[in-house]
Amino acid sequence: MKNLFLIACVLMALPGLCRTLVVGKGQTYSTIREAVAAAQDRDTILVKKGTYYINNIVIIKSIYLIGENYPLLHGADKYEIFTVSGKDITIKGFHFTNSGYSAMNDFASVKIIDASNIIFENNRVTNAYFGVHIANSHHFTIRSNYFNGLTKSEQTTGNGIHLWKCNNALIENNEIHGHRDGIYFEFVTQSLIQKNFSEGNIRYGLHFMFSNDNWYVENTFKNNGAGVAVMYSKQVHMLLNHFDSNWGAAAYGLLLKEINDSKIDSNTFYQNTVGIYMEGTNRINVTNNVFKANGWAAKVQASCMDNTFFHNNFLSNTFDVGTNGTLVLNTFNNNYWDKYEGYDLNKDGFGDVAYHPVSMYSTIVENSPNTLMLLRSFMVSLLDKAERAIPSLTPENLRDDQPLMKGLKLKEKK
Distance from C-alpha of 24 to C-alpha of 29, rounded to nearest angstrom? 6
**Minimum distance of other proteins from residue 137's CB (angstroms):** 38
Question: Residues 145, 148, 150, 152: what is their CA dihedral angle, to the nearest 10 degrees?
Answer: 120
Nearer to other proteins by Cβ, of 67 and 295: the residue is: 295
**Minimum distance of other proteins from residue 316's CB (angstroms):** 5
Nearer to other proteins by Cβ, of 1 and 373: the residue is: 373
Under the phi-then-psi rule, with left for phi > 0, alpha for psi from -120 to 50, and beta for the rest, what region is 411? Answer: beta
**Minimum distance of other proteins from residue 405's CB (angstroms):** 14
**Minimum distance of other proteins from residue 334's CB (angstroms):** 21
Residue-by-residue DSSP string for 131-190:
EEEEES-EEEEEES-EEEE----TTT---SEEEEEEEEEEEES-EEESSSSSEEEEEEES
Residues at the site binding other proteins, with contacts judged by CB under 8 A: 247-249, 251, 271-274, 293-296, 315-316, 318-319, 338, 364, 367-382
Distance from C-alpha of 35 to C-alpha of 21, rounded to nearest angstrom? 7
How far from the centroid of its chain's Cα atoms is residue 186's Cα? 12
Nearer to other proteins by Cβ, of 79 and 355: the residue is: 355
**Minimum distance of other proteins from residue 247's CB (angstroms):** 4
Nearer to other proteins by Cβ, of 295 and 395: the residue is: 295
What residue ranges in 40-144 does DSSP mark as E strands? 44-47, 51-53, 57-59, 64-67, 72-74, 82-84, 87-92, 95-97, 108-113, 116-121, 124-128, 130-135, 138-143
Strands 183-189 and 197-199: unpaired
**Minimum distance of other proteins from residue 275's CB (angstroms):** 9
Q: Give 76's DSSP letter.
A: T
CB neighbours of 319 closer than 8 A, spacing ≥ 6? 295, 296, 297, 359, 361, 362, 365
Nearer to other proteins by Cβ, of 305 and 374: the residue is: 374
**Minimum distance of other proteins from residue 246's CB (angstroms):** 9
Closest C-alpha to 360, from 333, 339, 381:
381
Nearer to other proteins by Cβ, of 293 and 302: the residue is: 293
Nearer to other proteins by Cβ, of 239 and 380: the residue is: 380
Nearer to other proteins by Cβ, of 22 and 380: the residue is: 380
CB neighbours of 318 closer than 8 A, spacing ≥ 6? 294, 295, 296, 375
**Minimum distance of other proteins from residue 349's CB (angstroms):** 18
Three-class secondary structure of residue 29 per DSSP: strand
